[in-house]
Amino acid sequence: MRRKPRDADYYRQQLLQGDRVALARAISAIENERADTRAVYQAIAGHANRAHVIGVTGAPGSGKSSLVNALIQEFRARGQKLGVVAVDPSSPFSGGAILGDRIRMSDHGADPGVFIRSLAARGHLGGLSRATARVVDVMDAAGMDIIIVETVGTGQSEVEVMEIAQSVVVVCAPGLGDEIQAVKAGILEIADILVVNKADLPDAERTARQLRDAAGLASSRDDKVPIVKTTAISSEGVAELMQYLDDRFAGFDEARRSDAALERMRKIVTGAASHRLSEWLQRLDTDEFDTICNSVLRGELDIDDAAIASARLALTIESEKD
């Protein structure tokens, strides 16, 4: 038994009014690409691109979820509505997942002004799930003022969040030995704000110093990336972080915001297109395709050329089906 699909009118009436059940169903529709996925898109068209989207990334255990919890507190105190998307990895073996981020956000379990959704990465690399960008749009359309996206937290190559968030917060913490690793993984370059969390621990100052050096080296941008020390579990430093976030968002005029929307849409369309193409390639079952593959086996064609040839072939076949 799965829930029955809804039409665009339902989503227009319920989702855009901020109905929580409708929002949850819309997110599932997008994640699972069900019969009513298109209805959701129709309903939200023209209603997104309003919220401040904040990405929170960094090494596992650095305190991302705890920091999100503290941020929720502050934003709620100002009466703003929040959506939170927390992504955790899926098991490569079973496809299942344990989504445990919200255990650290349980101060807000019954607050109607906060909507938290846990997503499994479902095999997608880069720190998010394939549907994350669109889930953000749906939350935006449902009237969230702030949308926080917590990435998987491998601390490695999680640069995708940059494409969907206007502000990227990279969280580090003492004792994880991740400063250098973060530099290697290119994580520091995506930071708009660097946070040294667990400032209550003795080594925090040293971590901040290392980070300052590393960020100086890593940053190719002329604007200096601020470094904020926080203690998420007591909210120390979180007000300062909020100040930086507010300043950034205030600097986002219409033009920059629609640039960001365009960037996000490129990402979404690219993702959808490559998904389509791989589907088409999987359906390829022609002599022509076998000829290409055999040429590679015989060493007459390299894989890259074969890939291009098969993509062209698939494209031709599919467009003839129209």
Ligand X SMILES: Nc1nc2c(ncn2[C@@H]2O[C@H](COP(=O)(O)OP(=O)(O)OP(=O)(O)O)[C@@H](O)[C@H]2O)c(=O)[nH]1
Residues at the site binding ligand X, with contacts judged by CB under 6 A: 60-66, 101, 104, 153, 197-198, 200-201, 231-233
Per the CB < 8 A criterion, the answer to whether 310 and 280 are in contact is no
Instruction: Give whichever of 64 and 108 is closer to Mg ion, judged by the CB atom.
Output: 64
- Site for Mg ion (CB under 5 A): how many residues? 3
Per the CB < 8 A criterion, the answer to whether 76 and 48 are in contact is no
Stretch that binds other proteins, among 110-118, 187-195, 243-251, 303-311 (CB under 8 A): 110-118
Alpha-carbon gap, residue 294 to 70, rounded angstroms: 58
Residue with tokens 């580090």: 172
In eight-state DSSP terms, residue 225 is P
Q: Pick from 101, 140, 163, 189 the residue near Mg ion by CB under 5 A.
A: 101
Per the CB < 8 A criterion, the answer to whether 171 and 56 are in contact is yes
Q: Is 282 in the site for other proteins (CB under 8 A)?
A: no
Per-residue x/- track, 26-65, other proteins (CB under 8 A): -xx--xxxxx-xx---------------------------
Q: Indicate left, alpha or beta for 199 from its phi (over 0: left) and psi (-120 to 50: alpha).
A: alpha
What are the angstrom distances between the C-alpha of 266 and each of 28, 101, 124, 276?
22, 29, 17, 15
Per the CB < 8 A criterion, the answer to whether 190 and 220 are in contact is no
Stretch that binds other proteins, among 72-80, 181-189, 270-278, 299-307 (CB under 8 A): 270-278
3-state secondary structure of 210: helix
Q: Which does 60 bind (CB under 5 to 8 A by kind): Mg ion, other proteins, ligand X, none?
A: ligand X
Q: Which does 98 bind (CB under 5 to 8 A by kind): other proteins, Mg ion, ligand X, none?
A: other proteins
Instruction: Give whichever of 79 and 92 is closer to other proteins, judged by the CB atom.
Output: 92
Alpha-carbon gap, residue 34 to 127, rounded angstroms: 24
Q: Is 158 in the site for Mg ion (CB under 5 A)?
A: no
Q: Is 25 in the site for other proteins (CB under 8 A)?
A: yes
Both tokens of 151, joined, read 């990435």
Query: Which residues contact other proteins by CB under 8 A?
Result: 1-3, 20-21, 24-25, 27-28, 31-35, 37-38, 90-91, 93-100, 102-103, 106, 109-110, 112, 115-118, 120, 122, 272, 275-276, 279, 318, 321-322
